[in-house]
Structure 1
Amino acid sequence: MNRQPGLSVRLKLTLSYAGFLMLAGALLLTAAWVFLMRDASARVFVPYLPDLLRAFDPTNYGPVIFGQAAAAVLAFLLVFGLVGGWFLAGRMLAPLTRIADATRVAANGSLSHRIRLPGRRDEFRELADAFDTMLGRLEAHVAEQRRFAANASHELRTPLAITQTLLDVARNDPNPDAGELVDRLYAVNTRAIDLTEALLLLSRADQRSFTREPVDLSLIAEEATETLLPLAEKHGVTIETSGDITPTTGSPALLLQLTTNLIHNAIAHNQSDQGAVWVTTSVYPKCVVLTVENTGEKLTRELVSTLAEPFQRGTERIRTDHAGVGLGLAIVKTITQAHDGTLTLAPRAAGGLRVTVQLPAQ
C-alpha cells in the first residue's frame, strides 16, 4: 500500500508529552496567579483583562516579576518536555523496533529468527510472543511442505522410472512377452493414478474447499464397512461395527474417504489370519467420536507418532499386496483438521493400532 510520508510515532509521542507538560504548567501557573498573586493588591481578586495589563505597569513590580518567572518556567517545561518526551518515547517504542526488525528478517526468508522479548507481560510482549508463535508454526509448516514436495516427487518418479525400465527391457528383448509387459505396465500405471488422486484429495482437504452439510458419521461408517467387506473376507479379517447416531457437519465425500482410509488401513495392516477390526461411533454433548481398532503386530509409540506423516508407511507393518501409496493416514489427518477435529493414534497393548477421530457435534 502506497502511503504519504508523515511524522514518526516517536516524534508524535514526543510532541504529545511536551504539549501535555506545557498545558499542565500553564494550568499550574494560572492557579498560582489566582490564589497567590491576588493578595499582592487589594484591588486584584480575579485575573480579568485590566488586571492582566497591570503586569506592564512599571510601578507594579509584583506581577511583572511573576510574569517573567512564569515565562521562564514555561520555557524550561518546553525544553524539558521535548527532551524527556523524546527519550521516553524511544524507550517505550524499543520493543516495536525489535518486532519490526524480526519482521524484516522473516520477510527475507529466515523463519528461524525469534524476538524473545524479555520482561513482564504487557501489550508489546504479548504481540512479540504471538509473533514468535506464528513464526514457529510457519517454519514448521514450510518444513513440512518441503518434505512433502520432496517425498511426492520421489513417489511420482518411481512408477515413471519402472515404466521406463520395462519399456527398455521390452525393446531390447527379441522375443518380448506382450501380455506380461501389459500387465506390469497396467499395475504401475494404476499405482501412479492412485497416488495422483490421493495428492489431489489431500490438497482439496487442506484448502477446505468443500461445502459443509449435516452428516451422520455412523451411517458413513456402515457404508465404508460394506464397501470394504470383500477385502476383509479376502484377508480373513472380521469387521464389527457398533455405536450411536453421531450427527456432525462437514463434507460427506471427505468424511467417507476418511472412514474408508481408516478401515482399509486396519484391514491391510492386520494379522495374516483371524484378524479383527472394530469400528465404533460415540456421541457426546460437544463432539462425536469415530474409533477404529485393529489387531496386528505390536507397535512402538515412536513409530505410531510418525504414521500420519505423508509417505510414512511404517515398513514393518506393510503387507506386500497392499502397501498403498503412503498417504492414507495423512489424508485422514488433513480431513480431520479441515473439519476442526482432532486425530489420535495409539498402539494397542495386545498389538495393532487404535485410531480416534473427534469432530464437533452438529
Structure 2
Amino acid sequence: MSRAPGLSVRLKLTLSYAGFLMVAGVLLLAVVWLFLLRYVPASASETREGFIPGRSDLIRAFVPPAAWALFFLLLFGLLGGWILAGRMLAPLTRITDATRRAANGSLAYRIELEGRNDEFRELADSFDAMLARLEAHVAEQQRFAANASHELRTPLAITQTLLEVARNDPTSVSGTLIDRLHAVNTRAINLTEALLMLSRADQRSFTREPVDLSLIAEEATETLLPLAEQRGVTIENTGGITPTIGSHALLLQLTTNLVHNAIVHNLAHDGTVWINTGVDGAKAVLTVENTGEKVSPQLAATLTEPFQRGTERVHTDDAGVGLGLAIVASITHAHDGTLTLTPRVAGGLRVTVELPADQHSER
C-alpha cells in the first residue's frame, strides 16, 4: 500500500516534548507575572523611600528576559526531545530492522534486546519467539516437501521401470507384473490421500460437531479387527461415554491411525492393544497402548514427524506411508488438544490424546 510521506515518530515526539515544555514555561511566567502585578502600582511614583516603578517599567524589565528564557527553553526542548526520542526509539529501530530482514527471508536473525523488562523488551522478546517459530515451521515444511518428493518419487520410479519392461517386451506382461503395478499404484494413492488429510488438518477446514470418542474407538476397532486377527493381536476396548467437539471424520482417522499403528508395531505373536476412553475434568481422553519392542525416549520424540518411521521399529507391508502419527499430531493440534507418546517399560508405546470435553453434553 502506497502512502504519502509524513513526519517521523522521532520528530513528532521531539515537537511534542518541546511543545509541552513551552506550555509549561509560559504558564510559569504567567504565574510570576500575575504575582508581580499584585505588588506593582499602575503608574510610577516618588515617595520618601525612593522611586516606585509602575507596570510599564515592569513590562520593560520583565518581557525581554522572559522572551529570551522562552527562546532558550524552546531550543533546550527541541535538542533534549530529539535526544530522548532517539534513545526511546532505538529498540523500535532494531525491531524494524529485524522485520525487514525477516521479510527478505532471513529468519535466523534475533533482536536479543538487552536491558530491564519493559514494553519494548516484551515486544522484542515476542518478535524473537515469533521468528523462532517461523524458522522452525519453514524448516519443517522444507523437510516435509523433500521427504514427500522422495516418497512419491519411489513408487513413480518403480512404475516407470515396470512399464518400460512391459513396453520393451510385451510378451512379458503377466499377472505378477500387473499385481506389482497395482501395489505400487495403491501405495502412491495412499500417500497422496495421507498428504491431503495432513493438509486438511493443518488448515482446520472442517465442521465441528458433538462427537463421542468411545463410539469412534469402537468403529476403528471393528474396522481393524481383521488385521489384528491376521497378526495375532488382541484388542481390548474399555471406557465410557467421552464427548468432545470436532470433526467425526478426522477424529475417526486419528483413532484408526493409532490403532493401526499399535497393531502393526506389536509383537510377532500374542500381542495386545489396549484402547481406553474417558473424561478427566475438562478433558476428553483417548489412550491407545500396545505391547511390542522397546522404544527409546529419543525415538518416541521423533515419531510424530512426517515420514519418521523409526529405524528401531519393524517394517512390514502394513506399516503405512510414514504419516500416521504425523496426521494424528496435526488432527490433535487442529482440535486444540495435546498428544503424548510414552514408551512402556515392558516394551511398546502408550499414546494419549487429550481434547477439550463437551461440557454441554448429557452423560
- Cα shift readout 1:201-249 (whole Å, capped 9, x = no counterpart): 1111111000000101111011101111111001000000111211100
Q: 1:186 offset after TM fit, Å? A: 0.6
Closer, same or farther: CA 174–138 of 1 in aligned 2, 3 Å? closer
250-259 vs 158-167, greater mean Cα deviation: 158-167
2:265 is the counterpart of 1:275? no
Amino acid at match of 1:226: E
- Cα shift readout 1:45-64 (whole Å, capped 9, x = no counterpart): xxxxxxxxx75x4xx2x331
Which 4+ runs in 1 deviate beyond 6 A?
none
- Cα shift readout 1:43-91 (whole Å, capped 9, x = no counterpart): 79xxxxxxxxx75x4xx2x331111111111111111111111111111
2:222 is the counterpart of 1:222? no
Q: 1:132 offset after TM fit, Å? A: 0.6
CA distance in 1, matches of 2:166, 2:132: 51
2:14 is the counterpart of 1:14? yes
CA distance in 1, matches of 2:340, 2:260: 17
2:342 is the counterpart of 1:312? no
The 8 Å contact of residues 10 and 86 in structure 1, kept in 2 or not, is answered as yes
> What is the DSSP-based 3-state SS (H/G/I as helix, E as strand, rest coil) of the residue aligned with 1:315?
coil
Q: TM-score, normalised by structure 2?
A: 0.93
> What is the DSSP-based 3-state SS (H/G/I as helix, E as strand, rest coil) of the residue aligned with 2:75?
helix
- Pairing 1:183-262 to 2, within 5 Å after superposition: 183-262=179-258
The 8 Å contact of residues 116 and 132 in structure 1, kept in 2 or not, is answered as yes
Q: 1:320 offset after TM fit, Å? A: 2.2
Q: 1:5 offset after TM fit, Å? A: 1.4
CA distance in 2, matches of 1:181, 1:84: 85
Instruction: Tell me the residue number matched to 1:4.
Output: 4
CA distance in 2, matches of 1:169, 1:295: 43
Between the aligned residues of both structures, percent identity stands at 74
Instruction: Tell me the residue number matched to 1:74.
Output: 70
- Cα shift readout 1:9-40 (whole Å, capped 9, x = no counterpart): 11111111011000100111111112234323
2:60 is the counterpart of 1:64? yes
CA distance in 2, matches of 1:171, 1:5: 68
Amino acid at match of 1:316: E
CA distance in 2, matches of 1:214, 1:321: 35
Amino acid at match of 2:181: L
> What is the DSSP-based 3-state SS (H/G/I as helix, E as strand, rest coil) of the residue aligned with 1:241?
strand
The 8 Å contact of residues 202 and 331 in structure 1, kept in 2 or not, is answered as yes
> What is the DSSP-based 3-state SS (H/G/I as helix, E as strand, rest coil) of the residue aligned with 2:136?
helix
> What is the DSSP-based 3-state SS (H/G/I as helix, E as strand, rest coil) of the residue aligned with 1:167?
helix
CA distance in 2, matches of 1:321, 1:238: 20
Instruction: Tell me the residue number matched to 1:133.
Output: 129
Q: TM-score, normalised by structure 1?
A: 0.93
Instruction: Tell me the residue number matched to 1:49.
Output: none
Closer, same or farther: CA 43–344 of 1 in aligned 2, 3 Å? farther
Unaligned runs of 5+ in 2: 45-53, 359-363
Amino acid at match of 1:201: M
The 8 Å contact of residues 261 and 319 in structure 2, kept in 1 or not, is answered as no
The 8 Å contact of residues 238 and 274 in structure 1, kept in 2 or not, is answered as yes
Instruction: Tell me the residue number matched to 2:47.
Output: none
CA distance in 2, matches of 1:126, 1:284: 35
CA distance in 2, matches of 1:142, 1:305: 20
Q: 1:172 offset after TM fit, Å? A: 4.2
Q: 1:173 offset after TM fit, Å? A: 4.7
Amino acid at match of 1:292: V
153-162 vs 173-182, greater mean Cα deviation: 173-182
Q: 1:258 offset after TM fit, Å? A: 0.2
CA distance in 1, matches of 2:63, 2:176: 111
Instruction: Tell me the residue number matched to 2:333.
Output: 337
CA distance in 2, matches of 1:321, 1:223: 23
Amino acid at match of 1:290: L
Amino acid at match of 1:40: V
The 8 Å contact of residues 37 and 63 in structure 1, kept in 2 or not, is answered as no
2:88 is the counterpart of 1:84? no
Instruction: Tell me the residue number matched to 2:38.
Output: 38
> What is the DSSP-based 3-state SS (H/G/I as helix, E as strand, rest coil) of the residue aligned with 1:306?
coil
CA distance in 2, matches of 1:319, 1:268: 9
CA distance in 1, matches of 2:5, 2:297: 58
CA distance in 1, matches of 2:271, 2:114: 57
Instruction: Tell me the residue number matched to 2:361.
Output: none
Aligned length: 349
The 8 Å contact of residues 285 and 352 in structure 2, kept in 1 or not, is answered as yes
CA distance in 2, matches of 1:72, 1:234: 100
Unaligned runs of 5+ in 1: 45-53
Instruction: Tell me the residue number matched to 1:94.
Output: 90
- Pairing 1:272-311 to 2, within 5 Å after superposition: 272-311=268-307
Instruction: Tell me the residue number matched to 2:163.
Output: 167
> What is the DSSP-based 3-state SS (H/G/I as helix, E as strand, rest coil) of the residue aligned with 1:133?
helix
Q: 1:270 offset after TM fit, Å? A: 0.3
CA distance in 2, matches of 1:340, 1:153: 29
Closer, same or farther: CA 158–9 of 1 in aligned 2, 3 Å? same
